[in-house]
Amino acid sequence: MALELASKLPTLFSDESSTVRQLSIDLFLKMLSFVEGQEKRTRRKEVSRSLVLLYLHLHDEEESVVEASRNTFLSAAQFLHWRQLEHLVQMAQFQQIGECLLAKRKKCAAQDFLSQSLLYLRSPQEALRREAVRFIGLLGQHLTDQQQTERQDIYYGLQGAQQDPSPSVSSLALQTLKILKEMRPRPAHGHFGQLVSRLRSTWRRWHSDRADS
């Protein structure tokens, strides 16, 4: 029953109540301890799917949710034997986690990542919407020229985010969409590092402007 419950918990990570968010994330962490032996292999996909949600909530407005997300993300990375992710969480290098997730993802995970992050463009939290825009932009730059459906979904989502009531979110969405449209779809083994660098620079510029305001 505990393992069956674990598969339901991620739907509560984005609940409006910070208490529900924290408790559901904490409970997901506890559920990982119940997974043993062969069951670990069958649960890997489920744990992998939780990473994007936990990553986004590392930017939650509630410190208790951030702490719960950090502990659970670390445990999930250890569960998956993903040492680079472990290191980034331990060093609190949260901005690099999204890049790490995308660098190691399988092609089939693109739509899953995208559908999860697009939902956060409607989050009541400005910080989560802004981080979702940034992650979606990174994902868009990592798509191959065969993934046209995902690319169109990204364009549509970012166009909607340009109407966000927060100037920092709408401006970042505008800049991100402009970058994506200026770039040609990359081949299966393109220069992802250069693309990430451009979007990272855009993010840092908007973050700096927001800190100065």
Domain coordinates in residue numbering, the chain: 1-104, 106-213
Q: Could you give the 3-state DSSP secondary structure of residue 82?
A: coil
The pLDDT of 22-46, averaged and rounded, is 85
pLDDT for 201 beyond 70? no
pLDDT > 90: percent of the chain: 47
Instruction: Grade residue 181 by pLDDT with cuts at 50, 70 and 90.
Output: confident
Residue 144 forms beta bridges with which residues? 186
Q: Where are the alpha helices (DSSP H) in the chain?
A: 2-6, 18-32, 39-56, 63-79, 83-90, 97-104, 110-119, 126-142, 148-161, 167-182, 192-212
The pLDDT of 84-107, averaged and rounded, is 82
Instruction: Grade residue 208 by pLDDT with cuts at 50, 70 and 90.
Output: low
The pLDDT of 12-21, averaged and rounded, is 95
Q: What does each C-alpha distance from 174 to 111, 150, 203 come to in angstroms?
A: 22, 18, 12
pLDDT for 150 beyond 70? yes
pLDDT for 191 beyond 50? no
The pLDDT of 119-145, averaged and rounded, is 91
- Mean of all residue pLDDT scores within the chain: 84
